[in-house]
C-alpha cells in the first residue's frame, strides 16, 4: 500500500550540491526556470564567477560547500537558523577513482567514501529534523548505472556507494563478468524512505546511466601502478578506455534533470508518482534494470530448491 504525499503549492527551496557543471548546473537552471528558489553549492565558487552571477541574478544563492568536510552539515544549520527553510535536498556532488581494487590505496578508498557516502549522509541527517517539523521535504540522491552493474576498475566507486548487497553481473558492453556492489544510497535510501514517509517526507534515488556530463573527463586513477599481471586484462582495457576521453554517452543531461524536476515536483512525468522511490534514467539503464531482474530470477532458478529448505525443523 503506497503512501499519499502532499506537496505545498508555493515556491520551494532546493539545495543542490555539485552545481559548477553537469547534472547540478542543469538542474539548477531548470529549477529556477520553474519559478523555485535554488541554493547552489560547489567546492570552489571562485572558479565559476559567471555561474554564481547567473544564479544569484535570478534570485538564487550560491554557497561554498565541500561535502568531504566533517563540518559540511553546518551549511544546513546556518540556513535554517537564519530562516531559510530547505524543502528539497539534492545530493549530486561526487567523483570516481578507476583502478583494480587490489591497487587502490586506503586514502583513495576513504576519499570516495567521504564524497559519495558520508558527505551526503551528513547533509541528510542535518536537514531531516527541520523537514520533519514542517511535515514536508524531498531528499533526492543521485546514483549511478554502476549501482546495477559495475565494470572492472570501478570497485572503489561501487564500494563507496555500496549498501547491503554484492553481486556479479555481466557487462553488456564489454561482455565480461564484473564486480557489482549495489549503491549504498539505493540501500540506505530504501530504508530512509520508509522511516520518513509518515512525516510527508519523500526519499528518491535517481539512477543515471551515461550522460553528456564531464564525469569521464574528470576521472581519477590510482597513484599505484598497474601490476604486470593485469596488463592486457579487462581492468587494463577499462583504464585505457576511460583515460582516452572517448567514452560514448547515451543520454541528454538536460532531459534527465527535467525528468527529475517533474518527479520531485509532481508535474508532467511525476504526476501521480509521488510514492515512487527509484527512478532509472538513460537508455542504457533499461538493459541494466532488466539484467538485475534476470540475475535475481536466475538465483532462484539455481537455488530455489535450497532457499526454502534451510528453515528450522518444527
Q: What is the pLDDT along the chain (314 residues), one digit of tens a residue?
A: 568 899 999 999 999 999 999 999 999 999 999 999 999 999 999 999 999 999 999 999 999 999 999 999 999 999 999 999 999 999 998 777 888 889 999 898 888 888 888 899 999 999 999 999 999 999 999 988 766 767 787 776 666 654 422 333 333 333 332 333 334 445 788 889 999 999 999 999 998 888 888 766 667 889 999 999 999 999 888 888 888 877 777 899 999 999 999 999 999 999 999 999 999 999 888 888 888 889 889 999 999 999 989 989 88
**What's the distance, CA 73 to chain centroid?**
18
* Per-residue pLDDT, 192: 92
Q: In 3D, which of 227, 233, 279, 236 has the Cα closest to residue 258?
A: 279
Phi/psi at 267 (nearest 5 deg)? Answer: -115, 165
* Per-residue pLDDT, 240: 87
Does a structural domain hold residue 302? no
* Per-residue pLDDT, 112: 83
How many residues does the structure list for the chain? 314
Number of domains in the chain: 1
Instruction: In the chain, count H helices and then E strands.
Output: 10, 11
Q: Tell me the CB-side half-sphere exposure of residue 60, using CA atoms within 13 A.
A: 31
Alpha-carbon distance of 14 to 85, in angstroms, equals 9
**What's the distance, CA 242 to chain centroid?**
20
* Per-residue pLDDT, 178: 31
Does a structural domain hold residue 311? no
Contact 141, 123 (CB under 8 A): no
Does a structural domain hold residue 307? no
Catalytic residues: 20, 143, 157, 161
Does a structural domain hold residue 2? no
Domain that holds residue 272: 13-295
Q: In 3D, which of 159, 166, 256, 158 has the Cα closest to residue 212?
A: 256
Does a structural domain hold residue 7? no
Does a structural domain hold residue 313? no
What does the DSSP assignment read for 209-243? -SBSSSTTTT-EE-SSPPPGGGTTSHHHHHHHHHH
Alpha-carbon distance of 243 to 220, in angstroms, equals 9
Does a structural domain hold residue 22? yes
Does a structural domain hold residue 281? yes
* Per-residue pLDDT, 94: 78
* Per-residue pLDDT, 166: 31
* Per-residue pLDDT, 21: 94
What CATH number did the domain enclosing 41 receive? Answer: 3.40.50.720
Alpha-carbon distance of 202 to 194, in angstroms, equals 9
Beta strands in the chain (DSSP E): 13-16, 37-42, 61-64, 88-91, 97-98, 137-144, 162-170, 177-183, 201-208, 220-221, 278-281
In sequence order, the 6+-apart residues with CB closer than 8 A to the CB of 140 are 88, 89, 90, 91, 203, 204, 205, 206, 260, 264
Amino acid at each position: 500500500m503506497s503512501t499519499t504525499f502532499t506537496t505545498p503549492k508555493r515556491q520551494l527551496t532546493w539545495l543542490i550540491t555539485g552545481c559548477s557543471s553537469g547534472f547540478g548546473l542543469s538542474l539548477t537552471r531548470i529549477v529556477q526556470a520553474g519559478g523555485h528558489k535554488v541554493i547552489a553549492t560547489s567546492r570552489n565558487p571562485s572558479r565559476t564567477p559567471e555561474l554564481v552571477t547567473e544564479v544569484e541574478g535570478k534570485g538564487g544563492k550560491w554557497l561554498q560547500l565541500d561535502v568531504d568536510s566533517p563540518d559540511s552539515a553546518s551549511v544546513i544549520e546556518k540556513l535554517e537558523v537564519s530562516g531559510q527553510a530547505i524543502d528539497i535536498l539534492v545530493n549530486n556532488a561526487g567523483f570516481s577513482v578507476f583502478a583494480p581494487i587490489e591497487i587502490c590505496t586506503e586514502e583513495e578508498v576513504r576519499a570516495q567514501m567521504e564524497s559519495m557516502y558520508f558527505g551526503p549522509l551528513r547533509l541528510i541527517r542535518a536537514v531531516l529534523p527541520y523537514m520533519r517539523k514542517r511535515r514536508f521535504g524531498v531528499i533526492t540522491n543521485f546514483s549511478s548505472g554502476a549501482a546495477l552493474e559495475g565494470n572492472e576498475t570501478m570497485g572503489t566507486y561501487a564500494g563507496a556507494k555500496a549498501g547491503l548487497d554484492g553481486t556479479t553481473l555481466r557487462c553488456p558492453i564489454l561482455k565480461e563478468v564484473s564486480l557489482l556492489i549495489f549503491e549504498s544510497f539505493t540501500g540506505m535510501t530504501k530504508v530512509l524512505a520508509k522511516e520518513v514517509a509518515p512525516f510527508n517526507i519523500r526519499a528518491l534515488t535517481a539512477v543515471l546511466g551515461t550522460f553528456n556530463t564531464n564525469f569521464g573527463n574528470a576521472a581519477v586513477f590510482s597513484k599505484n601502478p598497474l601490476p604486470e599481471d593485469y596488463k592486457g586484462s579487462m581492468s587494463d582495457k577499462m583504464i585505457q578506455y576511460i583515460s582516452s576521453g572517448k567514452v560514448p554517452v547515451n543520454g541528454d543531461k538536460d532531459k534527465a534533470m527535467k525528468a527529475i524536476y517533474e518527479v520531485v515536483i509532481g508535474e508532467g512525468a511525476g504526476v501521480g508518482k509521488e510514492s515512487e522511490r527509484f527512478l532509472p534514467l538513460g537508455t542504457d539503464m533499461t538493459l541494466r534494470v532488466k539484467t538485475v531482474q534476470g540475475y535475481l530470477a536466475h538465483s532462484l532458478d539455481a537455488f530455489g530448491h535450497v532457499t526454502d529448505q534451510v528453515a528450522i525443523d518444527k
